[in-house]
């Protein structure tokens, strides 16, 4: 048997699933004594170290490298949520925007921040590589945060001008502050677009899927990755929001910049331990997949009998995958019927294109979940701001934005339970490596999210009833005598839903994309929440226009005691139920990609 030929072939995952094992057999044949001693060559195919040398399994990657990468992600989440979690308060406070306008602005920014990773991932996978993109994005991130703090400083100077200050000068200063603020805000979004997909993909790259133990560890990596993210978020919501609300917005924007700089230093300290994926001289996988679609369209008039003959000539076995999206199989033939090298697509290229198409229905049906997710940093926060937020500590009130910490706290508490208890028990029952399939995990979170929205609507109905009973309908600045702890269940259930759906989507879009496009896969996952935020903004604007006018208060009136957030939450619950139904229908036809793990 020609083992060298087998080792060089990467046409199908089934042929190279265990290269180390085949290498060991080859060594034992050529040198029987080698079978009695451990392998000296523990290098990993397709990876190099920081000096461009073959990387050794024993001295690189895995949890040591992943730890450095998780730290920089904690810092980035601390910085990101240090802005986004309390952004609506800053917009409706120092910048003086209305509730509906501020909510739309927050959703638009979150949408941009979640869509820009598509650009960042493309740049990383096609040009710079993930490591360089992370460093460059981190530097831009720090710059954006610094300018954001500077814009808040201008606001402090303007507000201290007093009544004797020139009104025109103040107006000009405020205009410049707004321009600088939003420019800095979107610079942070741009930096996050390069940082977010690359850091997670680079972290997952530290685990070799061809090694059974490392493959199992990679499953845990996605759980602990999200644990680290939420730990950073929890710290932000517990400390930074209080600083912003009670001490200084300048300090509240400057601290994330400092933390981000520290995170970058920690990331650089791990440089010598990382595994760097080898990028060959082959053309971009995006171009390759695009060519599949182009050839399939050009060959649209080709009969399926010709395709069947070509498949038989190539020895392609009839599988579920080959039967699905069969029109793409036409890319196996050139438009003029020739079969010259470079004129047709390979079987693997066609399968990669099919894998991308299969993700589309899952992506689309996850959008409703993303719309629901967007409310935790907007209307949930405004809801809590009207309620009794006092604590046992004299004179201390919980900042409304800090209520989001219950989402992170729920994640931090439940992920260890999920990873160490639920997965092993489910694995014993189902025999699946991850306990349940990724699609089942995602769907479970969608169910929990729907329940959370129903609870949010019920709590809001109670808040409005209490406001009416105490005669506060026209007194928006008076606290409603209802404890803010009533909001904890909806926040906690949001966190539980994230453990299932958010983590599941991350691993799903990483694992089901071709190896060369995994940064793009994670960017597609993030784009779900980007498009979801834009859809949320559109939905809010549409409802605002439909429910206002003729002297009526809209569902999102500045006076929340006259608004109807309960109607909005119930509408989202209905949409979530519809989205869940469509999602379940799509999962029935999904075929897992061959290069993914065994599900």
Q: Residue 185 domain-assigned?
A: yes
Residues 514 and 379 in one domain: yes
Name which of 234, 130, 144 is nearest 189 in CA terms. 144
Q: Residue 21 domain-assigned?
A: no
* Total Cβ atoms within 10 A of residue 174: 17
Q: Residue 250 domain-assigned?
A: yes
Residue 583, pLDDT score: 94
Residues 301 and 256 in one domain: no
pLDDT band at residue 309 under the 50/70/90 scheme = low
Residues 319 and 406 in one domain: no
Answer whether residue 2 shows pLDDT above 60.
Answer: no
Residues 383 and 495 in one domain: yes
- HEC letters along 465-489: HHHHHCCCCCCCCCCEEEEHHHHHH
pLDDT, tens digit, for every residue of 152-205?
887 654 444 444 444 444 466 667 778 888 888 899 998 988 888 788 788 888
Q: Residue 39 domain-assigned?
A: no
Residues 448 and 315 in one domain: no
Residues 144 and 257 in one domain: yes
CA dist., res. 177 & res. 182, Å (int) = 9
Where is the domain boundary, 258, 281, 304?
A: 281
CA dist., res. 157 & res. 173, Å (int) = 9
pLDDT, tens digit, for every residue of 315-356?
555 566 666 777 888 887 766 555 554 567 777 788 888 888
Residue 20, pLDDT score: 37
- HEC letters along 409-433: HHHHHHHHHHHHHHHHHHHHHHCCC
Structure tokens at 408: 């992170």
pLDDT, tens digit, for every residue of 438-488?
899 999 999 999 999 999 999 999 999 999 888 888 887 888 888 888 988
**Residue-range definition of the domain harbouring residue 294:** 285-345
Question: Are the CB atoms for 328 and 351 separated by under 8 Å?
Answer: no
Task: Identify the residue with better confidence: 301 or 5.
Answer: 301
pLDDT, tens digit, for every residue of 211-252?
777 777 777 787 777 777 777 777 777 788 788 878 888 888
CATH for 241: 1.20.1250.20
Residues 259 and 313 in one domain: no
Q: Residue 107 domain-assigned?
A: yes
Where is the domain boundary, 246, 281, 316?
A: 281
CA dist., res. 204 & res. 62, Å (int) = 9
Q: Residue 165 domain-assigned?
A: no
User: What domain count does the chain have?
Assistant: 3
Task: Identify the residue with better confidence: 126 or 340.
Answer: 126
Where is the domain boundary, 345, 366, 382?
A: 345
Q: Residue 579 domain-assigned?
A: yes
Task: Please enumerate in sequence order all residues whose Cβ is within 8 A of that of 408, keeping only pairs 6 or more positions apart, or say none.
Answer: 230, 231, 233, 234, 237, 495
Residues 152 and 206 in one domain: yes
At 598, phi and psi to the nearest 5? -80, 125
H-helix or E-strand containing 43?
Answer: strand 43-48
Residues 313 and 218 in one domain: no
Terminal C-alpha separation, the chain: 31
Instruction: Give DSSP secondary structure letters for 527-559.
Output: HHHHHHHHHHHHHHHHHHHHH-BTTBPPTT-SS
Residues 242 and 366 in one domain: no
Average pLDDT, the chain: 77
| CA 47 to each of CA 130, 387, 597: distance values in angstroms, whole numbers, following the listed order | 13, 55, 19
pLDDT, tens digit, for every residue of 45-73?
777 777 778 877 777 778 888 888 888 88
Question: Are the CB atoms for 115 and 531 separated by under 8 Å?
Answer: yes
Q: Residue 508 domain-assigned?
A: yes
């Amino acid at each position: 048997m020609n083992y060298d030929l087998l080792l060089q072939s990467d046409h199908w995952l089934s042929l190279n699933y265990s290269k180390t094992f085949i290498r060991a057999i080859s060594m034992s044949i050529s040198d029987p004594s080698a079978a009695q001693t451990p392998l000296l060559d523990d290098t990993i195919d397709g990876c190099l170290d920081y000096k461009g040398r073959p990387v050794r399994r024993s001295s690189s990657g895995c949890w040591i490298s992943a730890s450095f990468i998780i730290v920089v992600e904690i810092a980035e989440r601390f910085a990101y949520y240090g802005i986004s979690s309390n952004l609506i308060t800053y917009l409706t406070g120092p910048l003086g925007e209305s509730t509906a306008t501020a909510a739309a602005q927050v959703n638009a920014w979150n949408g941009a921040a979640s869509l820009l990773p598509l650009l960042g991932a493309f740049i990383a996978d096609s040009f710079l590589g993930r490591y360089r993109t992370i460093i460059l994005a981190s530097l831009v991130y720090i710059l954006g945060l610094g300018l954001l703090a500077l814009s808040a400083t201008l606001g402090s100077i303007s507000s201290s001008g007093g009544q004797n200050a020139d009104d025109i000068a103040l107006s000009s200063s405020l205009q410049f502050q707004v321009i600088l603020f939003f420019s800095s805000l979107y610079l942070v979004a741009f930096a996050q677009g390069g940082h977010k997909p690359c850091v997670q993909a680079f972290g997952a790259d530290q685990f070799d899927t061809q090694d059974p133990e490392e493959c199992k560890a990679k499953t845990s990596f996605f759980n602990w990755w999200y644990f680290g993210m939420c730990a950073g978020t929890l710290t932000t919501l517990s400390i930074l929001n209080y600083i912003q609300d009670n001490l200084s917005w300048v300090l509240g924007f400057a601290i994330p910049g400092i933390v981000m700089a520290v995170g970058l230093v920690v990331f650089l300290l791990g440089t010598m331990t990382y595994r760097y994926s080898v990028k060959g001289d082959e053309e971009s996988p995006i171009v390759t997949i695009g060519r599949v679609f182009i050839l399939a369209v050009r060959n649209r008039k080709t009969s399926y009998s010709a395709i069947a003959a070509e498949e038989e000539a190539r020895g392609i076995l009839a599988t579920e995958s080959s039967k699905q999206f069969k029109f793409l199989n036409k890319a196996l033939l050139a438009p003029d019927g020739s079969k010259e090298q470079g004129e047709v697509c390979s079987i693997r290229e066609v399968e990669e294109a099919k894998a991308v198409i299969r993700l589309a229905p899952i992506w689309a049906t996850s959008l409703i979940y993303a719309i629901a997710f967007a409310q935790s940093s907007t209307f949930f926060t405004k809801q809590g701001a009207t309620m009794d937020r006092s604590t046992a500590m004299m004179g201390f009130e919980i900042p409304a934005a800090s209520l989001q910490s219950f989402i992170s706290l729920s994640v931090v508490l439940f992920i260890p339970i999920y990873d160490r208890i639920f997965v092993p028990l489910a694995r014993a029952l189902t025999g699946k490596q991850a306990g349940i399939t990724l699609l089942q995990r995602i769907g479970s979170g969608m169910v929990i999210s729907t329940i959370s929205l129903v609870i949010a609507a019920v709590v809001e109905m109670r808040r409005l009833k209490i406001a009416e009973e105490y005669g506060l309908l026209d007194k928006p600045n008076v606290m409603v005598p209802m404890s803010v702890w009533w909001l904890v269940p909806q926040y906690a259930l949001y966190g539980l839903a994230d453990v299932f759906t958010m983590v599941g989507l991350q691993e799903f879009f990483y694992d089901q994309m071709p190896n060369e496009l995994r940064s793009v896969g994670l960017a597609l996952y993030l784009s779900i929440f980007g498009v979801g935020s834009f859809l949320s903004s559109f939905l809010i604007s549409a409802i605002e226009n439909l429910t206002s006018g003729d002297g009526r208060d809209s569902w999102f009136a500045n006076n929340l005691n006259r608004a109807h957030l309960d109607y909005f939450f119930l509408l989202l619950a209905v949409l979530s139920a519809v989205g869940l139904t469509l999602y379940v229908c799509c999962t029935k036809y999904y075929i897992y990609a061959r290069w993914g793990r065994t599900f």
